Chain A
Amino acid sequence: MADQPTAAERFIQGILPENPVYRQLLGLCPTLAVTNGLKAAITMSAAVLFVLFCANVIVSLIRNLLKPHLRIVIFTLTIATFVTFADRFLAAYVYQMSKVLGPYIPLIIVNCLIICRCEVCASKQGVVTAGADAIGQSLGFCLALCSIAAVRELLGTGMLFDIRVLPVVWPDWVIMVLPPGAFLTFGLLLGLVNWYSDRRAAAAGGK
C-alpha cells in the first residue's frame, strides 16, 4: 500500500492534475448534455458528488469482501442505489431543476467516472482516502462542467445564472446552447488546457 497516493494527494489530483473531464476524458455524456446553463451544471455536479462520495465510501468499506468477478456488479448496484436517491430527492425538493436535467440524473448510473473511481481508488484504499478522492474528483468535475457551461450560457443566451450579463445588443449565438455548441466549447477548452499544460511543462523542463 506504500506506493498508493494518500488522501490529500488523491484530493488534489482530482481537481486539476487528474481532472476527470479535461485529463481523463470521463463522464463526457453529462459534460456535453447539461452544460447549456450554469444552474444545471452545478446541480449535476452536486448529484455526482453525492453519488460518487457514497459509492466510494461503501465500496471502500466492503473492499475486503469483494470477489474479483463480482465486483462490477456490486459497484453498479451501489451506484444505481445512490443515483435513485439523488433523482428522487431532486424531484421532491428541486422539481424545476429535475425537469431541466431530465434523463441525465438517472444516467449518472452509467457515468464511467464513478465506476472508474470505485475501481481505481475505493476498492483498494481506505475509507478516508476514498472519500477524499470522491470529493476531489467531484470538484474537478464541477470545475470542468462550470467552465463549459459559463462559456455556453454567456455566448448562447447572454446570461449567467439566468441573469442577463451581456448588453441586449449581443446577438445570442443559439448554436452555443445547442448540442454542437457543447462539442465546440469542449474541444476548444480542452485544447486550451492542453496547450497551457504543455507550455508549463516546457517551461519547467527549460529551467
Chain B
Amino acid sequence: MKPIQQMEPLSPTAFERLRNNNIIQAWLVLILTLCFGSSLAGIQMTLGPKIEENKLNETLEKIPELILGAEGAQKLTESGEKLDVIPRSFVVDKPGKKAVYNVYEAFDKDKKRLGWVVKTGGQGYADRIELLLGVDPEVKTVSGIFVLEQKETPGLGNKITFEEWRGQFKGKNTETPMGVVKGGKAGAGDINAITGATISSRAVTDIVNMAVADLKGPLTANAEGGK
C-alpha cells in the first residue's frame, strides 16, 4: 500500500507535491550556500595572495639574521642595504623517495655568496616542526636556525623557539651529526637538551642533521660550479 498523507486523504495536487519536495524545502539552504560560497571565493581571491606573501615574508625577513647573525643583521638594516636572495629548489634522491628542499641563496651587494638558508621540517613531539636553517657557503658550519612553525608543549617544548636555545646551533660544525645531551653537559659538537623537552630538542637536532646530510653534497657542488 502506498503511504498517504494523513491530513489529506485526497491525492496531493501537483502544487503540494512540489511544496513537500525535499529540494524545494531546502531552497533557503541552497540560496544561502550560493551566496556564502561566492563571498568566500571573493575573500580568498582578495586575501589569499596577502596570506601567501605573509608566509614568504616571514622566511625572507629571517634570512639576514640566519646568515649574518643578529648583530650582522642589525648592521645591515642600519646601513640600509639588503641581501640579494635567490629562491631555488633542490631535489635529493633518498632511498625510496625524493626530498625536495626550498633553499634561499644569499648574496651581498658585491655578488659574493654569503650562505644558504634551507627551509626544512620534520616530526616534533606534538606536530610537525618547520625550520629555517642557515649555513655558510661551503656548508661547513651552521650559521643559525629559526623555528617557523611548531605546536610543542607551551612552557617546555616551545622553548625551541627561544634565542637562548636555538642560538646553540650557531657555529656548529657540520662534519659530524650533532648529538643531544641532557643536563647541560654538551660538548663542542653537541646540543644541550631543554629540561623536560628532550624529545622536542632531539627532533629539532635531527631535522638539522638530516637537512645538512641531504644538502651538503648538492650545495657544495653548486657553490663550486657557480664560481
Contacts and interface: CB of A to CB of B under 8 A. Distances in A.
A78 B33 CA distance: 9
12 contacts: A62-B28, A70-B29, A78-B32, A80-B36, A85-B39, A88-B43, A88-B47, A88-B51, A91-B54, A102-B151, A175-B155, A178-B155
Interface of B: 25-26, 28-29, 32-33, 36, 39-40, 43-44, 47-48, 50-51, 54-55, 58, 149, 151, 153-156
Contacts of B33: 77
Given A84-B40, A92-B50, A102-B151, 16 more contacts: A70-B29, A74-B28, A77-B29, A77-B36, A80-B36, A81-B36, A81-B39, A85-B40, A88-B44, A88-B48, A92-B47, A93-B50, A95-B51, A95-B55, A95-B58, A178-B154
A65 interface: yes
Interface of A: 36, 62, 65-67, 70, 73-74, 77-78, 80-81, 84-85, 88-89, 91-93, 95, 99, 102, 156, 174-175, 177-178
In this complex, the member of A36, A92, A95, A175 whose beta carbon has the largest number of chain B beta carbons within 10 angstroms is A92
B154 A36 contact: yes
A95 B28 CA distance: 35
The prevalent SS among residues of A at the interface is: helix
B124 to A, nearest CB: 14
B54 A92 contact: yes
A70 B26 contact: yes
A178 B196 CA distance: 13
A177 B44 CA distance: 34
A94 to B, nearest CB: 10
Contacts of A78: 32, 36
A55 B15 CA distance: 33
Contacts of A102: 151
Contacts of B43: 84-85, 88-89
Contacts of A36: 154
Nearest to B156: A174
Nearest to B36: A81
Nearest 9 Cβ contacts at the A-B interface: A174-B155, A81-B36, A95-B54, A92-B47, A92-B50, A91-B51, A88-B47, A177-B155, A92-B51
Contacts of B149: 99
A65 B26 CA distance: 11
Contact of A70 (B25, B36, B155): B25
Nearest to A80: B36
A36 B153 CA distance: 12
B154 A177 contact: yes
Contacts of B25: 67, 70
Contacts of A85: 39-40, 43
Nearest to B48: A88
Given A81-B39, A81-B40, A178-B155, A91 B28 contact: no
A160 to B, nearest CB: 17
B56 to A, nearest CB: 11
